[in-house]
């Protein structure tokens, strides 16, 4: 578990460096905030049992890729893809898996861009390659996902159908808001201070 924590810390550092660079050297910062979480060992074992697998260190290494998780929240969908590209192009990271729930949202409306990267962790025992799941979201996507999580927790995952329908409708509204804000953002960036639209 310590190796997973160190791998998570490595990814957080990489994203934080990008965030600080944009804040210092560019007129616009695409990263709003960064958070991380590490599953407990009990949580990992419960997940294995739900999958019908016998808990062991080998099984954990071979099947569970989201023990260490990092969430990167951006303002706009274009920022999500930009930061994703900047992170996954780094030479010491290896991309293991990508799930683009923005291009293809889940049935309940959930949207996010997930990537599992393998990061080297250098310890006294040698180099260990650790998987870390990174989720990229807009502010609207993160707000929706947070609300969904609270509702599922409150109802112990047995959510009434009318609430599920409301959540799906809210996901559509959040996606529409993202698209509208993206258009406004582009329009503002393409206008000169005097109000004229410049060519780009």
Buried/exposed 102-116: b ≥16 CB within 10 Å, e otherwise: beebeeebbbbbbbb
Pairing of strands 68-74, 31-38: antiparallel
List strands edge to edge, sheet with 113-123: 31-38, 68-74, 126-138, 113-123, 94-100
Report whether 66 contacts 130 (CB < 8 A).
no
50 burial type by CB count under 10 A (0-12 exposed, 13-18 middle, 19+ buried) = exposed
Beta strands in the chain, from DSSP E residues, in sequence order: 31-38, 68-74, 94-100, 113-123, 126-138
Residue 42 to residues 47, 85, 165, Cα–Cα distance (Å) = 9, 34, 32
What are the residue numbers of the active site? 133
């Amino acid at each position: 578990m310590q190796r997973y924590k160190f791998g998570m810390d490595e990814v957080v550092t990489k994203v934080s460096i990008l965030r600080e660079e944009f804040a210092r050297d560019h007129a616009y910062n695409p990263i709003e905030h960064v958070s991380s979480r590490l599953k407990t060992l009990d949580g990992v074992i419960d997940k294995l049992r739900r999958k019908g697998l016998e808990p062991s260190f080998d099984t954990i290494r071979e099947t569970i890729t989201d023990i260490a998780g990092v969430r990167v929240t951006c303002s706009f969908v274009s920022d999500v893809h930009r930061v994703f590209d900047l992170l996954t192009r780094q030479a010491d990271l290896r991309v293991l898996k990508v799930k683009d729930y923005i291009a293809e949202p889940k049935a309940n409306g959930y949207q996010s861009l997930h990537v599992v990267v393998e990061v080297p962790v250098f310890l006294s025992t040698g180099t260990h390659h650790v998987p870390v799941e990174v989720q990229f979201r807009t502010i609207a996507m993160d707000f929706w996902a947070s609300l969904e999580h609270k509702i599922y927790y409150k109802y112990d995952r047995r959510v009434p159908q009318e609430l599920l329908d409301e959540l799906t409708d809210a996901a559509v509204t959040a996606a529409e808001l993202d698209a509208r804000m993206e258009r406004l953002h582009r329009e503002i960036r393409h206008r000169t201070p005097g109000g004229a639209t410049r060519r780009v």
